Structure 1
Amino acid sequence: MAERYSSFQSGSASWLFQRVTAAFLVVVLAFHFFLLHFMNHASEVTFAGTSARMSEWGYLVTMVLFLWTGTFHGVNGVYAALLNQGLTGTKKTAVKGILVVAGLALAAQGTYLALVMNGMV
């Protein structure tokens, strides 16, 4: 039988945050699909409608948290997968830096867009 290997130490902060963000993402993704794919069809989603939804504080905060948790979950998952493949040394440090910068840039741009859609910027 193959031995199980994971770059996550069970009980570590990365391990815990990966699971917490996964649980949050499942709930918010269900809300997103229900609201934007079942209550409204894709052809009915407009710029004006998106702006109206984003003007609601609860929706804005939920979508920004969705963005941040999704970004962390994805970047952390990619990093863990690369560690599982044996990434070490200087390459590990470089990849970690690139993923952190890319994740922060994505979160910043998405947050800015959400604030623009809200009318705050």
Structure 2
Amino acid sequence: MAERYSSFTPGGTGWLLQRVTAAFLVLTLAFHFFLLHFVNHAYEIEFAGTQMRMENLGYMLTMIMFLWAAAFHGVNGVYNALVNQGLTGTPKRVVLGILSLAGIALVVQGTYVALVMGGIL
């Protein structure tokens, strides 16, 4: 029988955060689908309505946390999948740097857009 290998240390911080962000993403994605596909139908979504929703501080903070959780979960998941496939040494550090920069850029830009749409900036 093949040995199970994971780059996550069971019970470690990365392992825990991957699961916590997954649970948070499931909940906020359900909220998103309910609000934007059942309460408001997709064809009714307009820029002005998005701005109006983002002016609600609770909604805006939820969407920012959704963005941050999704960025962390995605970057961490891709990185660990590559490590599990055998990525080591310098390529591992380069991939970590590129993924980290991409994740940070996504979070900074997304947060900026949310704050502008919410009327804070």
Instruction: Sort the TM-score into its range (normalised by shorter chain).
Output: over 0.9
1:63-78 aligned within 5 A:
63-78=63-78
**TM, length-normalised to structure 2:** 0.97
CA distance in 2, matches of 1:53, 1:5: 44
1:92-107 aligned within 5 A:
92-107=92-107
Q: What amino acid does structure 2 have at the position aligned with 1:93?
A: R
1:86 and 2:86 are equivalent in the alignment: yes
Aligned residues: 121
CA distance in 1, matches of 2:106, 2:113: 11
CA distance in 2, matches of 1:5, 1:39: 44
Q: Which residue of 2 aligns with 1:57?
A: 57
Deviation at 1:39, TM superposition (A): 1.2
**TM, length-normalised to structure 1:** 0.97
CA distance in 2, matches of 1:79, 1:33: 28
User: Once the two structures are aligned, what percentage of the paired residues are identical?
Assistant: 68
Deviation at 1:119, TM superposition (A): 1.2
RMSD: 0.7
Q: Which residue of 2 aligns with 1:41?
A: 41
- Could you list the per-position Cα deviations for residues 82-112 of structure 1 after superposition, in whole angstroms to 9, with x for gaps in the alignment? 0001000000000000111000000000000
Q: What amino acid does structure 1 have at the position aligned with 2:88?
A: T
1:5 and 2:8 are equivalent in the alignment: no
Q: What amino acid does structure 2 have at the position aligned with 1:56?
A: N
**3-state SS in 2 of match to 1:28:** helix
- Could you list the per-position Cα deviations for residues 20-74 of structure 1 after superposition, in whole angstroms to 9, with x for gaps in the alignment? 1001111111000000011111110100000000000000000000000000000
Q: Which runs of 5+ in 2 are unaligned?
A: none
Q: What amino acid does structure 2 have at the position aligned with 1:30?
A: A
Q: Which residue of 1 aligns with 2:119?
A: 119
4+ runs deviating over 4 angstroms: none
**3-state SS in 1 of match to 2:6:** coil
CA distance in 1, matches of 2:24, 2:2: 31
Deviation at 1:2, TM superposition (A): 2.8
